[in-house]
Amino acid sequence: MVNIIWVSFIIISAFYMIITGNISLLNNEILKGGIDGLQLLWDMLPLLVLWSGIMQIAEDSGLLQKFSNIVRPLLTKLFPSLKPNHPALGYIASNIAANALGLGSAATPFGLKAMEAMQKDNQQKDTATEAMVTFLILNTGGVTIIPTTVIALRMMNQSANPSEIIITSLLATTCSSLAGLYYDYRKRRKR
């Protein structure tokens, strides 16, 4: 899918620029194309590094664990098919906590372990269980409290208030997650 997007972006633009007689712009874009990408990485790097450091402190101090303990009681309501002491619930809680704190690289291993734990009880190994679907809806909703990359790029582009979009992002995320969970709830009721 990403392959198709990438190739069609380039081919469509190239043909369109040739047809409209913009060949010098096309030539220019191809030759200097790499610089903008490098600039973007360079803009992201400082805050990403600083933030990863701070989040490592959150993980090592046990704050992440604490956070997932708070989330956990809510999960038993969202996952009625999992028993309250099911090991998957712990992983799901850690995954959600890590995602919320913006610890993407820590979140993925927890998520994969949660899937594995749920697969153990699965009767049909090639078919997703209800709990798996609910978990992935929560996960793709992507509740991140502080979207670091966006803030970093706003800052590097001289925004007067780089963090002003935190609240709008959070509100939009909440709408998205609630919609996903409601859709899931309706689908489950039908069966």
Site for another protein (CB under 8 A): which residue of 23, 25, 70, 74? 25
Q: Which is nearer to another protein, 77 or 191 (CB)?
A: 191
Q: In this structure, what is the dihedral angle of CA atoms 85, 89, 93, 95, given to the nearest 10 degrees?
A: 150
Separation of alpha carbons 69 and 94, rounded Å:
8
Which stretch in 21-29, 68-76, 77-85, 86-94 sits in contact with another protein by CB under 8 A?
A: 21-29
Site for another protein (CB under 8 A): which residue of 5, 24, 81, 98? 5
Distance between start and end Cα atoms, the chain: 32
CA-closest candidate to residue 114, choices 66, 54, 99: 99
Look up residue 163 and give its DSSP letter: G
| Shortest Å distance, C-beta 152 to another protein | 11
Quick check: 161 binds another protein (CB under 8 A)? yes
- How many residues in the shown chain lie near another protein by CB under 8 A? 97
Which stretch in 68-76, 77-85, 86-94, 124-132 sits in contact with another protein by CB under 8 A?
A: 124-132
The three-class DSSP label of residue 174 is helix
Quick check: 179 binds another protein (CB under 8 A)? yes
Distances (CA, A) of 103 to 110, 148, 172, 181, 188: 11, 10, 20, 23, 31
Kindly report the backbone phi and psi dihedral angles of residue 49, in degrees, each rounded to the nearest multiple of 5, phi listed first: -70, -45
Site for another protein (CB under 8 A): which residue of 86, 91, 97, 180? 180
Site for another protein (CB under 8 A): which residue of 23, 84, 112, 121? 112
Q: Which is nearer to another protein, 69 or 108 (CB)?
A: 108
Give the footprint of another protein on residues 60-79 (CB under 8 A): 60-63
